[in-house]
Amino acid sequence: MHKEARLLRQYKHLNIVAFYGMVMENDSVMIVMEMVPGGGLDHYLKSYTVSIPDKCSFSFDVSLGLYYLHNKRCMHRQAPEVVTTFLYTRECDVYSYGILVWEIFNNAKAPFEEFSNRTVRRRVSTIFISSYLF
């Protein structure tokens, strides 16, 4: 974890929340990050009526941060193939970015929110395996 913390501290970009450090105490890990006035994007999207141009701006800003991280060879690591193959690629981040854009334009509602996480994982993994691996 200390190695990851050192890596995270080096990323400086307008569209990335700054990581300052972490504290490990007993079995807990506390992360110290830049304060974002107004809270997270999901809270903002749920609390306010956000215009389409603003949603486009949020989506674009996130893409700039992701582009910066990819140029630094850093990946976020959330996508269906990670569940099945444990392979992390830029394409995984593009998938996650697509999910985030979907959530931005649907006022922070997650896709498939009517299903349990387990059901979504199983269905997405099954579709991924049958569609792309065979």
The pLDDT of residue 129 is 54
Model pLDDT for residues 39-64, shown as the tens digit of each residue: 889 999 999 999 999 999 999 999 99
The ranges of the chain annotated as CATH 1.10.510.10 are: 38-133
Task: Report the pLDDT value the prediction gives residue 28, as an integer from 0 to 100.
Answer: 87
Cβ distance 134 to 85 under 8 Å?
no
Which residues are CB-neighbours of 53 under 8 A, at least 6 positions away? none
Name the one residue in this structure whose structure tokens are 């579709």. Answer: 127
Q: For 5-43, write each residue's pLDDT tens digit.
A: 777 778 888 998 888 888 888 888 888 889 988 888 999
Give the Cβ contact number of residue 58 at 10 Å.
19
Pairing of strands 28-33, 19-25: antiparallel
For residue 69, give the nearest of 96, 50, 48 by alpha carbon: 96
Query: Residues 70-117: pLDDT tens digits?
Result: 888 776 554 444 445 556 677 778 888 999 999 999 999 988 888 888
Fold of the 38-133 domain: Transferase(Phosphotransferase); domain 1 (1.10.510)
Q: What is the dihedral of CA 63, 110, 108, 132, to 10 degrees?
A: 10
Decide if 19 contacts 35 (C-beta within 8 A): no
Q: Tell me the torsion sign for CA atoms 43, 49, 52, 57.
A: negative
